[in-house]
Amino acid sequence: MAEKDPYAVALGKVIKIFRKKFGWTQEQMEEYTGLPPKAIGKFERGERAPSSKTQFHIINNKVKEIPADEFNELLKKKLNRVSKQ
């Protein structure tokens, strides 16, 4: 099995943290961001990193904007942890 990209893993963890923080299912996230649950699942598992355009849609969704500084700070922390593993 190929090793996962640390950035994709860290970013997936951050996406999942915010989705759960807002109490959303992957289906609700689809409604709010336009991203299918299958893609959201791949992002959350670190199988794939979303493009910068997709990240923008996640952060600036239709319901609850995620503060970019909070998102980026959490991403840095997760990336540091994943990189050390």
CATH of the domain at 56: 1.10.260.40
Query: What are the Cα distances from residue 50, in Å, to 8, 43, 45, 54, 84?
Result: 8, 7, 12, 6, 22
Q: Which of 64, 55, 71 is nearest to 17 (CA)?
A: 71
Structure tokens at 83: 């990189």
Q: What is the full per-residue pLDDT of the chain (85 aa) written as tens digits?
A: 678 899 999 999 999 999 999 999 999 999 988 999 999 999 999 999 999 999 888 888 788 878 888 989 999 999 998 877 7
Domain-embedded: residue 78: yes
Q: What is the pLDDT of residue 1?
A: 60
Number of domains in the chain: 1
Distance CA 75, CA 30 (A): 21
- Identify whether 1 is part of a domain: no
What's this model's pTM, rounded to 2 decimal places? 0.86
- Could you give the angle at the alpha carbon of 13 between the alpha carbons of 83 and 69, nearest 5°? 90
pLDDT at 50 (0 to 100): 93
Residue 50 and residue 27: Cα distance in Å, rounded?
Answer: 17
